[in-house]
Amino acid sequence: MIALSDKWIEMLISLPETGMGYQIVSIILNDGIKFDQAIVNEGYITRVRGHKTIPFKEKDIREILVTHDKWDFSKE
């Protein structure tokens, strides 16, 4: 899990939730790598599709885009 700083939290709060207390987002890193489906839950990145752990640190994030692109993450 990665705790997001106020910079990201303020931006995400201004956008609609995907579900109760969470958002599905795409995350683009400073080096251009993009993760299309990640869960942000109450200020934390809690899951990235296809990864058992979060494969980056907050300092690596260039952009977070709310997409609401759901998947059945309980089956991964």
**How do residues 9-24 score in pLDDT, each as one tens digit?**
999 999 999 999 999 9
61: which strand partners?
A: 29
Q: Is residue 74 part of a domain?
A: no
Q: Is residue 23 part of a domain?
A: yes
Distance CA 4, CA 10 (A): 10
Domain that holds residue 30: 2-68
Q: Is residue 52 part of a domain?
A: yes
Say whether pLDDT at 76 is over 80.
Answer: no
Residues in the chain: 76
Q: Is residue 73 part of a domain?
A: no
Q: Is residue 76 part of a domain?
A: no
Q: Is residue 29 part of a domain?
A: yes
Are residues 56 and 4 in contact, defined by beta-carbon separation less than 8 angstroms? no
Q: Is residue 58 part of a domain?
A: yes
Q: How many domains does the chain have?
A: 1
Residue whose entry in the numeric block shows the structure tokens 């995350």: 27
Quick check: pTM over 0.85? yes
